[in-house]
């Protein structure tokens, strides 16, 4: 812990990758693991463009339910520790796979949303995007003014990540002195590839996860603790 704190304290450039685990203690379910969403629901029936084309209402019911859970949740000390870290560092980038918006609500500013945002709705016909925080939504599936079907503004399996955000995340992983990997199973690509990229580019890579991940053994430090408990200590 002392060594990891020193690396963080001395770094002028820090990049972070977060996943569902950082929001677990805010009461938002993760995807994988014993209590994960994919134990209860099938990813291919809900988080693919094919699933949406087949049954948009079913997919929307699932997103509408998740939006209601997220609306009732609050950022936790893990999110807040990253806000403090951003304020303390001249160069700081936070890439998140989360669509819940809790980093923003905590006060983080420089956020790269690799998998989109659950509060954004995007028209499948005219491409118009808008933020809609109503929960529940008044009609499912929601429709655009042009008559087109609106979809959640998130990245499903088989879809590309938002171009600008992905390029900036890669650059941040390549150029940082310390890379923090927090609450992600690190099995979904290309986001997971940021971890070895940061390491081979020379960063000290520090992981915070309640379970081991495919990268844990290769990192400079891997902590088995909940993010909301570890991050405030690590970053204090
Ligand atoms: C705690 C904790 C606490 C718990 N404190 N820790 C074969 C090989 C390589 C790649 C592929 C492949 N076959 C297909 C692919 C590509 C595919 C992919 O990676 N699949 C793998 C699963 C095999 N990737 C894609 O399709 C991506 N696009 C792409 O590659 O484009 C190029 C392309 C185009 C065309 C064809 C092919 C390729 C897009 C991926 C999009 C992922 N989308 C989702 C849904 C987003 C919207 C939504 O939220 O509904 O993103 S899936 C889901 O997984 C979500 C998450 O962001 C993502 C990652 O999950 P995350 O965040 O890591 O959560 P968990 O639950 O997995 O882990 C939580 C962790 O926290 C655990 O480790 C716990 O231990 C820990 N934890 N409590 C700290 N308190
Ligand atoms: Zn439209």
Domain 43-72+123-154 belongs to what topology? SIR2/SIRT2 'Small Domain' (3.30.1600)
The CA distance from 55 to 70, in Å, is 23
- Could you tell which of 47, 121, 188, 223 is best to mutate to test the pocket of ligand 1, judged by most ligand atoms within 8 Å of the CB? 188
Pocket test for ligand 1, best of 77, 189, 195, 219 (most atoms within 8 A of CB): 189
Ligand 1 pocket mutation pick from 20, 76, 182 by most atoms within 8 angstroms of CB: 20
Ligand 1 contacts CB of residue 226 (under 6 A):
yes
Looking at the chain, the whole-number percentage of residues with pLDDT higher than 90 is: 93
Q: How would residue 80 be classed by pLDDT, with cut points 50, 70 and 90?
A: very high
3-state secondary structure of 47: coil
**CB of 69 shorter than 6 A to ligand 1:** no
Query: pLDDT for 45-58, tens place per residue?
Result: 899 999 999 999 99
State residue 236's pLDDT score: 83
pLDDT reported for residue 44: 77
- What pLDDT is stored for residue 40 in this prediction? 81
Domain ranges in the chain are: 2-27+75-115+161-234, 43-72+123-154
Predicted pLDDT of residue 139 = 94
Q: Where are the beta strands (DSSP E) in the chain?
A: 13-18, 91-96, 111-113, 116-123, 129-131, 150-154, 178-182, 204-208, 221-223
Specify the residue with its C-alpha closest to ligand 1, atom 9.
Answer: 189
pLDDT digits 0-9 by tens, 178-205:
999 999 999 999 999 999 999 999 999 9
Atom number, ligand 1, closest to the C-alpha of residue 208: 79
Whether the Cβ atoms of residue 107 and residue 80 lie closer than 8 Å to each other: yes
Q: How far is the CA of 33 from the centre of ligand 2 (A)?
A: 37
* pTM given for the model: 0.97
In words, the CATH class of domain 2-27+75-115+161-234 is alpha beta
Model pLDDT, residue 165: 98
Q: Is the CB of 210 under 6 A from ligand 1?
A: yes
Return the pLDDT at 55.
94
Q: If you take atom 22 of ligand 1, which residue's CA is the nearest one?
A: 188
Return the active site residues: 115
DSSP-derived secondary structure letter, 1: -
Q: Which atom of ligand 1 is nearest to the CA of 157?
A: 26
Which ligand 1 atom lies nearest to the CA of residue 160? 31
Task: Name the burial class of residue 140, with classes exposed (0-12), middle (13-18) and buried (19+) by CB atoms within 10 angstroms of its CB.
Answer: middle
Q: What is the pLDDT of residues 6-43, one digit of tens each?
A: 999 999 999 999 999 999 999 999 999 878 888 788 88
């Amino acid at each position: 812990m002392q060594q990891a704190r020193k690396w963080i304290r001395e770094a002028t450039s820090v990049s972070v990758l977060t996943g569902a685990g950082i929001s677990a203690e805010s009461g938002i379910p993760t995807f994988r693991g014993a209590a994960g969403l994919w134990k209860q629901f099938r990813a291919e029936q809900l988080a693919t463009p094919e699933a949406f084309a087949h049954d948009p209402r079913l997919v929307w019911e699932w997103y509408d339910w998740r939006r209601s859970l997220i609306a009732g949740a609050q950022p936790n000390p893990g999110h807040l520790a990253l806000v403090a870290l951003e304020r303390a560092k001249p160069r700081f980038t936070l890439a998140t796979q989360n669509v819940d918006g809790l980093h923003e609500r905590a006060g983080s500013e420089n956020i790269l949303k690799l998998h989109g945002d659950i509060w954004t709705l995007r028209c499948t016909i005219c491409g118009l995007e808008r933020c809609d925080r109503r929960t529940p939504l008044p009609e499912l599936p929601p429709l655009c003014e042009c008559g087109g079907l609106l979809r959640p503004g998130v990245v499903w399996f088989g879809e590309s990540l938002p171009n600008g955000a992905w390029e900036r995340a890669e650059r941040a992983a390549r150029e940082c002195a310390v890379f923090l990997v927090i609450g992600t199973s690190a099995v979904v690509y290309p986001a997971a590839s940021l971890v070895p990229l940061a390491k081979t580019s020379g960063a000290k890579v520090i992981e915070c996860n309640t379970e081991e991940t495919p990268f844990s053994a290769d990192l400079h430090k891997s902590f088995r603790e909940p993010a909301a408990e570890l991050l405030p200590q690590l970053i204090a």
